[in-house]
Structure 1
Amino acid sequence: MAAVVPAAPAAAYPIDCAILLCLAGGFPASVECSAAKAELLRRITPWPIEPPLQLWRCPMGGGGVSLPSGGGSDSLAPEVAKYRDAIELWSLSKHVTSGSGGRDLYVNVGRYGYAPSGDFVQFRTSEDDVPDWLDEEVRRQTGSTLMNHYGPGFRSIVLRMQDYTGAYSTEWVSY
């Protein structure tokens, strides 16, 4: 009787490959996709400290991805670039104070995303630039709008992503 040879352990996978594949699939329930989503959220909270998707770390042959400074290059395959380019990240904070002069509202809005060069950058923005989908997400999460003097204060990161069907999903992370 021949001896049973145990199978070789699976090689570790680069987390950025998992982030890309799970992002495209809408982060389906699995151990790998849960780990990928947790890493993605770690990178962006409490503020975008790292690009959420670092394709230069994924050796899947993403079409010329080799720039360690940003996240891609002009030679990135369109099938991959569409997921990277659809990532929108918003840093929001709202603080309301009451005093003898009434209520004061302090709002800070930051918008991050991938530039056409593939670099992860902060875009110029203000509270007037908040898109309708984000205002609705703020209302859903806090019960108020961003510019309401009587709503609750908060600090959060809102991540918007697109899956392979073209559907958008958002992730609200308070900190």
Structure 2
Amino acid sequence: MMRLKVLGAVVCAATALASAPKADAYSIDCAILLCLAGGFPASAECTAARAEMIRRVTPWPIEPPLQLWNCPMRASGMPPIPNLGSDGLTDDIRGYRDGIEVYHVNYRGQRNSEGIEINDSTQRGVYDTEGQFRWVGIRLGNTPAWVQDRVGYRGGEQAGTRRGIVMRTRDHTGQVSEVIWQTY
């Protein structure tokens, strides 16, 4: 059943891409969605989609990594998609979107005469129930272990600077497909 749902979502997005007037006119967000579902397999299109996701959130969070409103998922001649939520997405597509975990790490620990002074303005990117992307403040010490491992944070107050984006994506099976640490 899960495979049929995934196949339906992929077929819908692929149909939208196939009906584009020119090969270079496809929406990068459709490519991001398809590549995300497949775990970003090696291809020119998926490499471009991955690079675009990183560009959108680096060097500082400027855009949502996936912008589904730019991907026309209702191709003409296709039957209506069942189980659409109030945001216009199926559970599967929403799962791909919500499976993107992104953190903007901005941590600085500086030694002074009284110990270490911490300046931590780390943020977590989230999509709300309406599909809007926003940033929520979180301390680096409160991020998941995979974030702390990737940035080299060992807990407690530490001297040093860590600044960049940590992003993790999941494929159609729910498995982590990649963890990216992009410093700037």
TM-score (normalised: structure 2): 0.74
**CA positional deviation for 1:148:** 4.1
Q: Unmatched 5+ residue regions in structure 1?
A: 1-7, 65-71
Q: 1:173 aligns with which of 158, 161, 182?
A: 182
Amino acid at match of 2:183: S
Count of aligned pairs between the two proteins: 156
1:160 equivalent to 2:160? Answer no
Q: Between the two proteins, what is the percent identity of the paired residues?
A: 44
Q: Which residue of 2 aligns with 1:82?
A: 95
Would you tell me which structure has more helix in proportion to its own residues? 2
Higher gyration radius (CA)? 1
Q: 1:104 to 1:11 in 2, by over 3 A?
A: closer
**CA positional deviation for 1:28:** 1.1
**CA positional deviation for 1:36:** 0.8
Q: 1:18 to 1:98 in 2, by over 3 A?
A: same
Q: Deviations over 1:107-163 (max 9, x none)?
A: 221111111111111234334531222222223xxxx4254424x312011112111
Asked if structure 2 preserves the Cα contact closer than 8 Å seen for 1:93 and 1:155, the reply is yes
Q: 1:104 to 1:10 in 2, by over 3 A?
A: closer
Q: Deviations over 1:57-92 (max 9, x none)?
A: 11132969xxxxxxx952311121110011121111
The secondary structure found in structure 1 opposite 2:55 is helix
**Whole-angstrom CA distance in 1 between matches of 2:144 and 2:22:** 47
Q: 1:24 to 1:102 in 2, by over 3 A?
A: same
